[in-house]
């Protein structure tokens, strides 16, 4: 979060896909004291998000895929549902994950007295 403007730099979003993992955008690298990092979720938190997502899927999808891990699930989709249906479920997972990450960011920001408006 930019401490001066209160803008959030969403590193995991579309804008920064070409950057190496974990590497902040140029603006953040050039002025690190100006930015505060929103705490990352734990592995357990990510797993809870994943488990909640799995509960929304049809039995045929859960039964066909390895639901023990996100990577195994995605590989199962690619193997058992190679066409559009697999892509739809994969996109649903990404949308669910991104929505939960936004909620986490919103909670953190509102705890600091900031209002959130996503553009």
pLDDT in tens, 40-97: 889 999 999 999 999 999 999 999 998 999 999 989 988 998 777 778 898 999 999 9
Angle at 54 between CA 49 and CA 56, to 5 degrees: 105
CB 102 within 8 A of CB 117: no
Q: Any idea which residue has 């959130």 for tokens?
A: 116
State yes or no: pLDDT of 19 exceeds 70. no
CA quadruple 72, 75, 79, 80: dihedral sign: positive
pLDDT band, very low/low/confident/very high, at 14 (cuts 50, 70, 90):
very low
Give the residue with greater pLDDT, 11 vs 8: 8
pTM (whole model) above 0.95: no
Query: For residue 35, which phi and psi values (nearest 5 degrees)?
Result: -115, 145
């Amino acid at each position: 979060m930019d401490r001066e403007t209160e803008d959030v730099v969403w590193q995991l979003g579309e804008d920064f896909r070409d950057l190496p993992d974990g590497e902040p955008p140029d603006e953040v690298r050039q002025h690190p004291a100006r930015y505060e990092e929103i705490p990352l979720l734990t592995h357990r938190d990510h797993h809870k998000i994943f488990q909640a997502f799995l509960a929304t899927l049809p039995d045929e999808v859960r039964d066909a895929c390895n639901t023990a891990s996100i990577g195994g699930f995605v590989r199962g989709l690619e193997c058992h549902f190679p066409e559009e249906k697999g892509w739809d479920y994969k996109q649903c997972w990404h949308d669910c994950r991104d929505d939960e990450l936004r909620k986490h960011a919103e909670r953190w920001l509102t705890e600091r007295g900031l209002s959130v408006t996503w553009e």
